[in-house]
Every structure is written in C-alpha cells, then in structure tokens.
Structure 1
Amino acid sequence: MTDGPLSGVRVLDLTHVLAGPYATGQLALMGAEVIRVERPGGDDFVRRHGGTEAMREAGFGASFLSQNSGKKSVVLDLKQASDRARFLDLAERADIVVENFRPGVVDRLGVGFEAVRARRADAIFASLTGYGQDGPLSGRPAYDHILQGISGLMAMTGAPESGPMRVGLPIVDYVAGQALVQALLGALLQRARRPGEAQRLSVSMLDAMTAFMGPYAIQHETTRQLRGLEGNRAFADTPFSGRFDTADGALVVTANSPAQAARLCAALGRPDLPESADVAGDLAAIFRTRSADDWEEILSVAHVPAARIRTLAEALAHPQMAGSPTWKPLPVPQLGITVRAPALPFDAPWGPEALAPVPAFGEHTDSVLTDLTKEAAE
C-alpha cells in the first residue's frame, strides 16, 4: 500500500458489527494504523457471517472480510483492571478512539472520553450510537433493520401491495459509517487548526439516515404531503421514468426532463406519446415488445438514461467494472484463498494499490502490547 493521507495516524477501534468497522476500515485504506480491540470469546458476529462454512468457522466471514483489511486485532477484557490499563496506555498513544456501545457503557468501564482525555489532552473520541447520547430512545439497542423502520425509510420503500419493506442491504449501517468517516476526517483537520484541544464526536444512526431524506422532510414541512409506498415511481414524478417489464428482463428508465422525454418518445417511435391519455399503459405495452438488453442499447444510443436491472453478480461481471479502482483482490492466507473485495469507493493517487489481509482474532495482541511497552520505555 502506498503512503496514504492518514499515514502516521493511529486509531484505537472499539467498534463491532458493521457501521463502526466500516468507518475504521475506510481510515485504514487511507493509510491509518487501526488497532481493533476485540472482546474475549470473539463475540462479534460478523466474523462468522456470510461466506463458506470454512470461512465462518475460521472467523473470516464475508461480512468481516469486506471491511477489515489491514487492521490489527488485539484482545482485551475491559472488565479487568489490567486490560483497562493497557487500553488507556494504547489510547494515550492513539490519535483517535472510536466506540459504538450504548451510551454510558464506556464510561462505566472506565474507558470513556474523560478517561482518555486525562491521558491525552488532544484526544479525538468518537461515539457511534443508534439514537444519540440523549433523548427517550438513547438507551435502546439499534440495528439496521430497526433503524430502517423507525427512520421513515421503510414507510416509503415498497408498494401498496407489499406494504413497507426494508432496503435490501444494511444501508443505515453504511450511511452512519460514512458519516463517522466524515466526522473523523473533520476532527483531524480541526486538530491541525487548533492543536491541543480534545474533541468528542457523536454520530447517531438515526440522524445520519434521516439527513439523507431532507427533500422529503422539507416537502412535508411545507405542503403536509408525505411520500409513501410508491414502488418504483421516480423521484422526479414523471410517467416517463420508472421500472418496466420487457420481453426478457426488467428495465429502469429515467427521462426526467422534457428533452429526455422527447428523445425517449422518438426512440420508441411514438412522438405523440405525451398527448396519450394513458402514458404509463402505452409505455408498458411498448417495452414488452423487446428485451431489456435491446432497450438499454436503443435508449442509450438515443441519449436516454436506461439500464437493464442486474443482480450484483451481473454488475460486478460487467466490462465497466473490469478496471474499477474500488474492487481489488483480498488475500486470506489462513484459508489459502483470495476474494474480490471493496477498497475505497473512489480513485485517488494515494489510494491503496492492494488490499492487506484482515486480522485473525487476537493476531496482534502480543506484538502490539510489546510495542506499547517499548514506546513507554522510550
């Protein structure tokens, strides 16, 4: 890996499951040294989530592989005084401490913001929670599925026939994780501007998700209208955009502007379509006459945004993805395999050239604590 912009930054990572580890994984891909602190017994379920039986049994589940490249794993029991002392010794030498326990847990354990700040005056201490540090929901457990339901996301996902449905991936986890990345990068810049000041950051999964729905919220605030279960209705509210069945496969079309709608109608051989009494019905009938692949090609040539709906496997196999800077080989030497995994979701001259292996459970406990002793002696 080339030296990234976070080379020399040390992150002490107390997070587990998806959102927090995704965020610290992004920092690792930008060059940070991320020390993942795991609890005895290895109870982070993502180590055994997804992939083959051999992967799960070895603690290298698909979910774990996707966001822990290049990290170090240290096992500490923070309920034990000796391990709490080791943690605080590590925190003293870390630029960032991140945790995602329920509010108050790290304070009760003696490893919260005040304890860390007492050891390092310019500490950056970030907490990722479901609902924030305060409020009537703050003490509740938070999972992606629950946040999709409580945030309003499920209420606008699905169709009247299906009722509310969750988005197919744990989107709240990743939205919140990206918000945490944003907060931490901002804190590092703030430290450079105003050195010596401790910073406490709090990221709420509920806030992160609802912030993405600002247009809908303002629409409701100003008109009292609320977007509901609209199925594949387009954001632009035009009948020329949406999801359509074809002779083979499904197609998604976005002809939002009048110019795009005109080009769509011309490509379909129906320039009169805007005057039709049933635009949606006419479009449905026309699209059933050819395959989705045919329509994708025809409409793309006509400069109308359109694509056949693909599975993830089909998307990753598409020639467009062949040179993607995001997807790289990830070696798993413990199992003798290599998988294709995501790196940074953008291209940059300082991005990782390759993905480093993910850590086995507790793999770096001895080496990290030995280095800690040496640093303390120096």
Structure 2
Amino acid sequence: MRPFDGIRIVDLTQILAGPYCTYQLGLLGAEVIKIELPGQGDWVRVTGIDPELAKAGMGTHFLSQNAGKKSVTVNMKDERGCEIVKKLIETADVFVENFRPGAAKRLGLSYEDVCEIKPDIIYCSLSAYGQDGPISHRKGYDHVLQGTTGIMSLTGTPETGPIKAGLAFIDYATGLNGAFAVSSALFERAKTGKGQRIDVAMLDSTLLMMSNIVTEHVTTGYVPELMGNEPQSRSPTAGLFDAKDRPILIAANSDVQFRAFMGALGLEDLVEDPRFSNHLARLDNKPELRRIVNEALKAKTGEEWEELLESVDVPAGVIRNIEEVMAENGQARARGISQEMVLPEHNRQIGVPTVGFKVNGDVVAADSPPPELGSDTEAVLAEIGYTDAQISELRHAGVI
C-alpha cells in the first residue's frame, strides 16, 4: 500500500522537470497517464548517450523519470484528441502541464476549462518563470535558469568567470517542488473536498535553494561574488585541498573542528599560534594557514584522510566520479538509490532512480519499466468508453 494508490494523474509534461514531478508521485502509488504526440512522443525519448536506445525511442534521458507510467499517444491539435484528454480528465485527480503560460488555454485546457470538467481537480503548471510577473511568458531550460537566477554569479572564480554546474539540478529541484505541492494539495482536498491551482516556477525553486543568500541580500543588500570552491562559511580550513593523490573537500569550520583537524595533521602547535588561535585571526592569515594545511595533507592519500578525519569528527570527502559513487559495494548501492530492471522489448538491463528516501527501512521503487511510445493507448481509451471501432478510426486518422 502506497500513499497515492488510487490517484490518477493526467500528465501533459515533457523533457525533465514536469516528468520528474509526476515520476515522484508515480513512485508513491499514483497512476500516471503520460500524454504524448503520436509518432514522436516526449522529445527526450531520442536523447542520451546510448544511440541504440535513442533510436528506439527509449533514450537514457527518458528512462530517468518515466518508469511506471502509462503512455497514451494523442494529437491535441485535433479536436478529437482534445476530447480524449478531456474524457481522461473526468476520471483524474491531478492534471499536470508544463506548456509556456497561455498555451494550455489555447488548447481549451486552462484551469477554468479543466475545473468545468472536474471541479475538485488538482491542476499543476510548471514553467520557467511562473504564471504571472513581467517575464512569465519566457521559455527556459535548466542551463539558462542557472544564469538568470544568479546561480552562475556564484560559481567559478575570477580567473574562470561564471561556470555552469554540470547537472540539471534546477529541473530536478522544480520537479521535487512540484511533487511536494501536488502532495500538499491532495492532502488539503482530503480535508476540504476542494481542488487547487498550483503554479510552480523554476525561478522560485532555484531561489529557494539559495534561501540564505536571498535572505542576506534582502536584509542587508549584500551581493556575493564568485566563490569558486570556497564554502559559504569562508573558513580557512574548509573547502578544497590537495591530498597526496587527489583533491579532498574538508569542513573544519568551528573552533572544535579546527583543533581536531590540526591534531589529525600533526599541527597541534598551530592551535595556540596567535595567527590562528581564533576564527578572526585565521581569516586574517588565511593564505598562510591554507599553505601549511595543503603541505601537511600531501602526506597521505585522500581516502586515508577521509578515514582519519572521520575518526576525529571532521567532515571530509574526496571528489569521486559517478562510477566510483555507484560502485557495487558503495554507499549509494546500499541505499538502493537506483533500481535495476529490464526493458522487455529491447532485452536491455537499465537502472532508474528510486524515490530518494526509505520508508520503514524499505526502498520505494517503480513497479514497471518506462513505457514504449503509445503502448497503453488502446487499453486506456477502452477504459474511458471508446469502442474498438472508434479506436481504429482514431488511429487511422492520426489522432492517436
């Protein structure tokens, strides 16, 4: 039994943020009906680094957020296609779209339109900048928002200039934010019987991940500059250092951690050195302290320092690549963060994300692989009242 068993979601989203939102809800039990364009589907079906899977319409970027869903192909530019979607809405609890603001209205699927069909619907829109405001009409992708939200004004160094993060974390954060919002609205509906209009923006989701920076700016006017590998604490004994074999990140921020760190390095004398005896003194003499620390760290490998510093309660970790992180005997595998399954039509073993937290010690995972394009169209249409003859006619006309 999962919390959203019996909940039906009509999902008109594509690419990443929207599908990741509905994926989270699906992992928690909701039935997600993914509406896709006949013959094409979600654009990310043909993306990713595996050409064989991309050619088959099961690209790795599609696999990562669509397991457990049903795929129904509908051409919504045809009135008969829109009618199919509206019939599905009659049976749904949640409607999710990530069109540019205004596009759903032109399809006859605005919040007001959908409420006429299903008054208690949870209607969720995900967009770049939200449904209101002076630039709400703009489209946006993760790498664009990394610039427009201020993220890239913090990443990089004066020498490199702004640097984009190497992952689409804004998309994922927006998807999680959307799933949280829908979950909250479903909880509210269970108490009141009323639906909700939810407006989730990539802009808002990003700024929430920068809450301390936004608060500092609004409160004091402070505008941070490029931080490189510096932690926000600015502590001289926190950040990126060089061990014997590889870089290592260390967080010795407090006085207690500083003393423990110096003891582990064999530099106990520095604790009483007036240049480093308190936080402000260490800030004044930061270059010299970092030089001494980097020299001492070259005595051991990164993994040796990890273990030694862990023993004295100083957080530390080397930079690992994804192969190392996902090693069979590693922490990520032990946590069950990736679920292995087989794509039956392609005889390929794949790994897809689980929900990201455990429940009573158990991993929450998808119950079926990502769907082939349109694989559930006939079954879903039959369920909402279409006959075999009608389905055949719609397919012949290119509506499904």
TM bracket, shorter-chain basis: over 0.9
**Does 283-292 or 91-100 show the bigger shift?**
283-292
2:67 aligned partner? 69
Preserved CA contact (<8 Å) 2:354 2:365: no
Does residue 297 in structure 1 map to residue 307 in structure 2? yes
Equivalent position amino acid for 2:224 in 1: R
Does residue 215 in structure 1 map to residue 227 in structure 2? no
Preserved CA contact (<8 Å) 2:246 2:301: yes
Match of 2:373 among 361, 364, 367: 361
User: 2:342 aligns to what SS in structure 1?
Assistant: strand
1:194 aligned partner? 192
Preserved CA contact (<8 Å) 1:22 1:177: yes
Preserved CA contact (<8 Å) 1:343 1:355: no
Distance 2:341 2:188 in 1: 33
Does residue 115 in structure 1 map to residue 125 in structure 2? no
Does residue 257 in structure 1 map to residue 254 in structure 2? yes
Q: Cα distance, 1:227 vs. partner? A: 1.8
2:17 aligned partner? 19
Distance 1:135 1:24 in 2: 26
Q: Cα distance, 1:241 vs. partner? A: 0.7
1:332 aligned partner? 343
Preserved CA contact (<8 Å) 2:27 2:366: no
Distance 1:114 1:230 in 2: 46
**Does 18-27 or 246-255 show the bigger shift?**
246-255
In the superposition, the TM-score normalised over structure 2's length comes to 0.90
User: 2:385 aligns to what SS in structure 1?
Assistant: helix
2:237 aligned partner? 240
User: 2:384 aligns to what SS in structure 1?
Assistant: helix
2:318 aligned partner? 308
Unaligned runs of at least 5 residues, structure 1: none
Does residue 28 in structure 1 map to residue 26 in structure 2? yes
Unaligned runs of at least 5 residues, structure 2: 276-284, 388-400
Equivalent position amino acid for 2:35 in 1: V
Distance 2:120 2:168 in 1: 34
Q: Cα distance, 1:40 vs. partner? A: 2.6
Match of 2:126 among 125, 128, 139: 128
Does residue 352 in structure 1 map to residue 357 in structure 2? no
1:44 aligned partner? 42
Distance 1:64 1:340 in 2: 12
Equivalent position amino acid for 1:268 in 2: L
Q: Deviations over 1:15-61 (max 9, x none)?
A: 00000000100111101000000123325321112142111111111
Preserved CA contact (<8 Å) 2:155 2:228: yes
User: 1:122 aligns to what SS in structure 2?
Assistant: coil
Provide the identity percentage. 38
Match of 1:150 among 130, 148, 151: 148
In the superposition, the TM-score normalised over structure 1's length comes to 0.95
2:225 aligned partner? 228
Distance 2:223 2:270 in 1: 29
Q: Deviations over 1:332-357 (max 9, x none)?
A: 11210112221110001475356411
Equivalent position amino acid for 2:364 in 1: P
Distance 1:245 1:34 in 2: 47
Preserved CA contact (<8 Å) 2:10 2:33: yes
Distance 1:175 1:123 in 2: 24
User: How many residues get paired?
Assistant: 372
2:278 aligned partner? none
Equivalent position amino acid for 1:372 in 2: I
Preserved CA contact (<8 Å) 2:185 2:195: no
**Does 93-102 or 46-55 show the bigger shift?**
46-55
